[in-house]
Amino acid sequence: MKTIGIIGGMSWESSLMYYQQLNLAVKHAKGGLHSAKINLVSVDFAEIERLQHQGDWQALAEKMLAAGLSVQASGADFLLIATNTMHKVAEDVEQALSIPLLHIADATASELLKDGVKRVGLLGTQFTMQQDFYKGRLQQRGLEVLVPDDVGMALVHNIIYQELCQGKVLNSSRDVYLQEMEKLKAAGAEAIILGCTEIGLLVQQSHTAIRLYDTTAIHVSAASQFALAD
């Protein structure tokens, strides 16, 4: 079994889900007392959030690279960046490492295409919804990506940072997300990507008839399969 390297803490709420789900996946696959081999470097999200909203992606790339090199030095066989937004600097990190990086958007695109989805709605931070580093990667795989309007984007973004990243799960905010999903469905979305690793805290498939693709679960599945492959 390979050792899974993780850059986490963005936020620790979702990193907790990564740790739990990876161990459950390995336990399910191997049984008994087996658990995942994980080397985790966790950053201070307050510093990351400040630099994100200042638009200082160069400083963020340097922080992610330092964390990635630390994970690599620990003996990990491959790397996960346990957040969607910070995949904006994934290529910078990947180019400097000798171990593979499993990109969350690639894993998500593969799941969508396997299921025959061609037009998909995307919810996440404003950085993920607006910028090309994530949408563009999906579009390169032939997917059409729909996002909320500016008002909807702001609502979705603020709930992530002001609530979910702080462990607050409010029914009123779930209603906001479900309304935005319905708008995307009306615009032609066949499914919705939960494109922030905390959204799964708020919305699950049981809350809606619209097909949901939880990027945390998808990333974990890809990582566990890679770790367990011969």
Beta bridge mates, 121: 146, 192
Tokens of 131: 């910028």
Annotated active-site residue in 108, 196, 215, 216: 196
165 classed as catalytic: no
Q: Which residues contact 61 (CB under 8 A, 6 or more apart)?
A: 89, 92, 93
CA gap 68, 90 in Å, rounded: 10
Residue 77's nearest CA partner among 1, 22, 20 is 1
Cβ–Cβ under 8 Å, residues 4 and 80: yes
Active site residues: 83, 196
